[in-house]
Amino acid sequence: MIREEPAFKIKNANFPLFVVHIHTTDFDKLKSELEKRLHQTPDFFSNAPIVLGLAAIADSGCTPDFSGLVAFMLSLGMRAAGVVGGSLEQCDAAVRAGLGLFPDTPTRPSPLAPPDQDEPPTKSTQPLQPELPGFEMQTEKTLERNESEKVSPDDDIQSIQPDDPSTEPHFRPTLVIDKPVRTGQRIYAKGADLVVLAIVNAGAELIADGDIHIYAPMRGRAIAGAHGNQSARIFVQRLEAELISIAGCFQVFENGVPENVRGKPAQVYLDGSRLIFQTLPG
């Protein structure tokens, strides 16, 4: 049977985008500063779509004149494609002005990185482990998860690659490992949660963009929220880890895991820039 090629296909794609975070409700000031900045590098944007970051003025109660702003930016070669992080009124006004709405989780400036900083939280407040995948791609240019990121082709890495990413754009099945994860092995659950049912030995590395669950002794490294998901958590049946990291905030345990959680079922989550270790009922 010959299937006719459909007229179009909808596919999930991720492009690098610039976010212009607006820090003032004084739009004349904004315009003049934009003009001044782009005067030096007039081709900087060259019609690249940009996103207006409204998080810093979301609570100001002020609704910008988007049509005027968009027209002004266009004259500078900046094509505003949408807004992110605004209040309901601001989003409403943006839509009326023909702008799109971006989901405001991953790129929204967090309390960790005040909006006046150009660096993402993982870079600005915490030292980096450059060899870990997931850290090097986290920049303000990245919108949501960067799908094009390549993992180094080490045979020890197991990552999941769904057959057709277009059908499930934002959902990937949990990666389940049921064999011991041994020293030197690195498991990466790309864009997904990771569940390990066997022992994780010292020198082994678990990395997930989502949560990590280990139903066995955990003696290696666990890196959750590798792409900056600050709500990622790590759940361990027996915490004896060497290193725990969530969204780039990490802690090493030179003298072992703190007494109160050592060897116990525990969860780890991020509170601001602090990792919280909490025992779970056994």
Query: In the structure encoding, which two tokens stand for residue 88, read together?
Result: 């309901």
* Cβ-based burial of 18 (10 A; exposed 0-12, middle 13-18, buried ≥19): middle
DSSP SS3 for 21: strand
What is the DSSP secondary structure assignment for residue 273, as one 8-state letter? T
Q: CB neighbours (10 Å) of residue 114?
A: 12
90 binds other proteins (CB under 8 A): no
141 within 8 A of 16, measured Cβ to Cβ: yes
Q: CB neighbours (10 Å) of residue 13?
A: 10
82 binds other proteins (CB under 8 A): no
Q: Can you tell me which of 29, 37, 96, 179 binds other proteins, judged by CB under 8 A? A: 179
Nearer to other proteins, 209 or 240 (CB): 240
185 binds other proteins (CB under 8 A): yes
Nearer to other proteins, 146 or 201 (CB): 201
Q: Can you tell me which of 184, 256, 258, 272 binds other proteins, judged by CB under 8 A? A: 184
Letter for the amino acid at 72? F
Nearer to other proteins, 52 or 181 (CB): 181
156 binds other proteins (CB under 8 A): yes
User: Considering the complex, what minimum distance in angstroms separates the CB of residue 182 from other proteins?
Assistant: 3
Q: Can you tell me which of 20, 197, 199, 243 binds other proteins, judged by CB under 8 A? A: 199
What is the DSSP secondary structure assignment for residue 177, as one 8-state letter? E
Sites of contact with other proteins (CB under 8 A) = 155-156, 179-185, 198-199, 201-204
